[in-house]
Amino acid sequence: MSSGDKLFGRLLNRQPPQPSNSADTPSVQRVGLQLHLNDEGRVIQLSGPLRHLLAQQIPGAQAPHLLDYLMPHSGLSVEGAPAEWQGQSLDLDFFSLGEHPLHLRGWVQPLGESWLLQLIDIGDLLLERRQARSREQCQLLAAQISEQLRLCSLTRLPEVLAEQLQGLAQRFQIPCIAMALLDEQAEGWLIHQHYTAFDAPGLWEIDQRLGTGLDSLNGSAPQQLIPSEHPRLQGIFGNAEGFAVPYHNALGVVAWLLCGFYPAQQRAPDLSERDWLQLTAALAGPLLERLREHQHHLQLERLESLQALLGTGWWEVFSDTAEVQLAPSLADTLNLASTRLPLHDWLEQIHPADREELTIRLQTLQDEGAPLLLCVRLHRPDAAQTPIWYRLQGQALGIGRNRRLVGFMLDISDIKNQEQNAAAAHARLDNLIASSPAVIYVQRYVEGALQPTFFSDSLLPLLGWSLADCAAGALVERVHPEDRDGYFERTRQLLREGSVRARYRLRDSRGDYHWLLDEAKLLRDDLGLPVEAVGLWLDVTEATLAAEKVKQSEERYRILVEDSPAMICRYLPDLTLTFGNRPLATYLECQPEQLPGVNLGSWMSPEQREAFLQRLSHLSPEFPVSTAEINLQLPGREHAWWVWSDRGVFDEQGRLLEIQAVGRDNTEVRRAQQQLTQSAKMATLGEMATGLAHEINQPLNVMRMAIVNVLKRLSNGDAQIDYLTDKLNRIDAQVQRAARVVDHMRVFGRRSEIEQHPFNPAQAIEGTLSLLSEGMRGKGVELRVSETGFEVQVRGYVDQLEQVLINLMVNARDALLSKREADREFKPWISVYAERDEYSVRLWVEDNGGGIDPRLLERIFEPFFTTKPVGVGTGLGLSVSYGIVENMGGKLSVRNSTEGARFCIELPIVADDQITSVARPE
């Protein structure tokens, strides 16, 4: 093998031939670089033309090692002794005096007692390889960029473009990169998209206008831009160095790839101008194509939307095939399955009344080129449907056999229907004017005056006049003398303001006067000058007379309301008065005109006000009336009770708008009832005096006996502490027992509170038993009391319910004792128990006294009715008890059971949501 073949093979990285064992000294080539090495790899001698490019070594005491000439990464290739490198191809990078290292390739062969390292320069070969690899990578990258931009959706196009710019910037370390497109509207350049590294200053913004500065560059190749050399580009790259790459198409340069703060030759030396142009084309080409596609898509959408909104579409007739092509929107409107169909099928869509004319006009268009303009109706099987009108317009393009028939169809159904409706409306208006009970007139403006020029036919039946009888002077003469000043003012107002509404009387042909409602409007010309007045007369004689009667009736009603002794008012759902008559104002010590705006609830306690509002909330259109007794704190008075009746006024949706109320003062009756109840209560206390005395004497006797025993012990000197303590505790318990009886007598005997409050009826049972139990047992009457401790609330007065129970139990006791006088073996008992359901609670008082005569059951609750001997009973106990229970919203009833009488007190339960915070028990 020749030396040239060996050299070429080594350049191609082929293995060199194995060294022969011949003792002949190999020939030394004088190209490249030759290094004579000893067995340790130290350099003995340098030769060859490349030795002058090596970096100078610092001379030392011994020969430098080969590693001293190599760059660090090449040291791994020559580890060990030269004998170990033999038979290998060595690629070594040497330090050089230039900017770049020396890339050399060679092999080691023995030379006598030393070794010869022969090297040749492969820098150009590596550069070409690197550039080839760079071109392949750029082509692959450009293909990927182009594919991404072509395949993405139009909505993601800006996002994908930004991602590709970011990828280029990060791949080639470009701080700022942007794509500038030609702005046709402003005749300049516009930043379409850009990317800026996080540590780089921003040069551009999206949609930033660059003006025409880029036009000054030569668009044939990438340009290294320095702003000082291109003053017009100062606004593009600022004070930084820039790099611009153009993109050409048939229109010239239409896009630029801008790289800011980027010296391309230093940062990307392996990229050629062709590579930059290829990358720019990969970005700009698909981008502009997609943008054109987007613009075309938008234009199609606008066209389709416009056609859909107008109900129109284009058509084209092909004479040679007798077919017609329709716009998709038009085909959808006509409910056609295809956009291309035979001409005959298209004509079948037209109404038979218009089909023949359209056929002839199309033939004329084909033969003579006469423009087509025709309004036709669509054929609809259902004749009752509103017809659909289309306007067909077409023209012929070209001449002879190449003539094309094109045009459009426009939906004019609204216009046609409006025309028909207008014609019908005019006909109806003419008929209405002729048959209207109102008189329609027109007055022409002539030299400052209004002269009648037209009256409808209803003038003659109404007033018996004709147009000739209504000249200007004659018309004024027929106006009632008292209304003439108003008629003249009506004319002046009409000329001044342009419209008027007046009422006056006119005399008819028989001499009778009619009240007329005159409404007129003045019409003006373009200069604002009066032309004529159009108006109508409406006979309102009956309505005017009826209004007078209503006015008189309202006056009588007002007098009746004001003079009524009852309180009459109206108020809103929040209790704000809107009207009140004089009696209500007198009670509230103010004037009637001061009542509107005053809140009726300001004279009620919080509990009364909340109960009042709850009662109003139950009003409905089906049950609009409610009656109740309300309690108020009036000025200058302690308390007042009114019997109040409300009626709600509702709107169409059932919402409460207003309340109309009538009330009367029930204060005296209420106070009389209270006095009667208090009297009955004191009478009850009087009847219980003997039992109460026994109730108090019992603990007194116990205390006296305890004191006597203590004194005896003290006199004997036998008084122990435990004994004294026990006696004193017993005395204290008896004192508390007597105090409870006296305190309950005091509470029971005082007047009841003004307002009712929720309470547990078990409290009344406990109070009654505390007053009567000992007396009953002392007289030999057994009390049977069942469990009554359930939690329930009723509204009323606990002391008055206690009074009712006392009356029932005392009456039962008297009946039982009277029966025992006749029968000493008789065992009397009284049973007290309670029960409840979801809505009410019932308290039962039952005895075994034999019952009440059935003939007396209906009269037992009448006032002053009694079965006791004269002077023993008042006959008010059960009557007052009945009124107390009824006032609490309950019912007191009686019936005979198997062994005696059975009284029932039934009271309604108060729901938790109806117990106000003021009255709610702890």
Residues 424, 385: Cα–Cα separation, whole Å: 17
Domain with CATH 3.30.450.40 in the chain: 131-298
Q: 635 pLDDT exceeds 90?
A: no
Share of the chain above pLDDT 90, in %: 8
3-state secondary structure of 454: strand
Residues 174, 194: Cα–Cα separation, whole Å: 12
Average pLDDT over every residue of 367-393: 83
In the chain, the amino acid numbered 72 is: P
| Predicted confidence band of residue 501 (pLDDT cuts 50, 70, 90) | very high
Question: Is the pTM above the cut of 0.85?
Answer: no
- pLDDT of 329 reads 80
Domain spanning 436-546: which CATH class is it, in words? alpha beta
Q: 752 pLDDT exceeds 60?
A: no
Q: What is the pLDDT of residues 235-284, one digit of tens each?
A: 677 667 788 889 988 888 889 999 988 887 777 777 888 888 889 999 99
Element containing residue 825 per DSSP (H, E): none
> What rounded mean pLDDT belongs to the chain?
79
- pLDDT of 694 reads 54
Collect all residues with Cβ–Cβ distance below 8 Å to 461 and sequence separation of at least 6: none
Please, which residues bridge with residue 901 across strands?
896
Q: What is the pLDDT of residues 830-874, one digit of tens each?
A: 999 888 888 899 999 999 988 888 877 777 877 655 666 544 555
- pLDDT of 27 reads 46
β-pairing, 794-796 vs 323-326, is unpaired
- pLDDT of 876 reads 61
Q: What is the pLDDT of residues 799-815, one digit of tens each?
A: 788 878 888 888 888 88
Sheet containing 449-455, strands listed edge to edge, beginning at the edge strand earlier in sequence: 449-455, 439-446, 530-539, 513-524, 499-507
Q: 426 pLDDT exceeds 60?
A: yes
- pLDDT of 747 reads 52
Q: 487 pLDDT exceeds 60?
A: yes
Q: With beta carbons less than 8 A apart as the criterion, state whether 659 and 570 touch.
A: yes
- pLDDT of 310 reads 65
- pLDDT of 905 reads 92
- pLDDT of 500 reads 92
Report which DSSP code applies to 892. Answer: E
- pLDDT of 286 reads 92
Q: What is the pLDDT of residues 33-58, one digit of tens each?
A: 888 888 888 888 888 888 888 876 55
Q: Which of these ranges, 42-46, 582-586, 635-639, has the smallest mean pLDDT?
A: 635-639
Domain with CATH 3.30.450.20 in the chain: 3-121, 311-418, 436-546, 564-665
Query: Of 728, 743, 729, 727, nearest to 695 (Cα)?
Result: 743
Q: Which of these ranges, 93-102, 187-196, 214-223, 863-872, has the smallest mean pLDDT?
A: 863-872
Q: What is the pLDDT of residues 274-312, one digit of tens each?
A: 888 889 999 999 999 988 888 888 887 777 777 666 667
Residues 573, 659: Cα–Cα separation, whole Å: 7
Residue 916, classified by CB atoms within 10 Å of its CB into exposed (0-12), middle (13-18) or buried (19+), is middle
Burial 219-252 (b: 16+ CB within 10 A, else e): beebbebebeebeebeebbeebbbbbbbbeeeee
Q: What is the pLDDT of residues 4-22, one digit of tens each?
A: 344 333 333 434 444 444 3
| Predicted confidence band of residue 904 (pLDDT cuts 50, 70, 90) | very high
Q: Which of these ranges, 499-508, 593-602, 874-883, has the smallest mean pLDDT?
A: 874-883
- Domain 3-121: give its CATH code: 3.30.450.20
Element containing residue 14 per DSSP (H, E): none
Please, which residues bridge with residue 841 across strands?
836, 907
**DSSP secondary structure string for all residues of 545-609:** HHHHHHHHHHHHHHHHHHH-SSEEEEE-TT-BEEEE-HHHHHHTTS-GGG-TT-BGGGGS-HHHH
- pLDDT of 24 reads 42
Q: What is the pLDDT of residues 413-422, one digit of tens each?
A: 888 888 888 8
Residues 483, 476: Cα–Cα separation, whole Å: 10
Domain spanning 564-665: which CATH class is it, in words? alpha beta
Q: 640 pLDDT exceeds 80?
A: no
Average pLDDT over every residue of 526-537: 88
- Domain 131-298: give its CATH code: 3.30.450.40
Q: What's the topology of domain 742-914? A: Heat Shock Protein 90 (3.30.565)
**DSSP secondary structure string for all residues of 163-221:** HHHHHHHHHHT-SEEEEEEEETTTTEEEEEEEEE-TTS-----TT-EEETGGGGS-TTS
Distances (CA, A) of 594 to 585, 597, 848: 8, 8, 64
Average pLDDT over every residue of 902-906: 92
| Predicted confidence band of residue 2 (pLDDT cuts 50, 70, 90) | very low
The three-state DSSP-derived secondary structure of 465-528 is: CCHHHHCHHHHHHCECHHHHHHHHHHHHHHHHHCEEEEEEEEECCCCCEEEEEEEEEEEECCCC
In the chain, the amino acid numbered 610 is: E
- pLDDT of 4 reads 38
Domain with CATH 3.30.565.10 in the chain: 742-914
CB count, 10 Å around CB of 582?
16
CATH architecture of 311-418: 2-Layer Sandwich (3.30)
Q: 103 pLDDT exceeds 80?
A: yes
- pLDDT of 847 reads 92
Average pLDDT over every residue of 328-351: 86
Q: What is the pLDDT of residues 55-102, one digit of tens each?
A: 765 555 578 888 888 888 777 778 888 888 888 888 888 888 877 788
Q: 184 pLDDT exceeds 60?
A: yes
Q: What is the pLDDT of residues 347-364, one digit of tens each?
A: 888 888 888 998 999 888
Q: 23 pLDDT exceeds 60?
A: no
Query: Of 173, 182, 14, 18, nearest to 109 (Cα)?
Result: 18
Residue 259, classified by CB atoms within 10 Å of its CB into exposed (0-12), middle (13-18) or buried (19+), is buried
Give the chain's radius of gyration (CA, Å): 60
The helix, strand and coil proportions of the chain, stated in percent and rounded to the nearest 5, come to 45, 25, 30
- pLDDT of 230 reads 53
Structure-token pair, residue 79: 């580890």
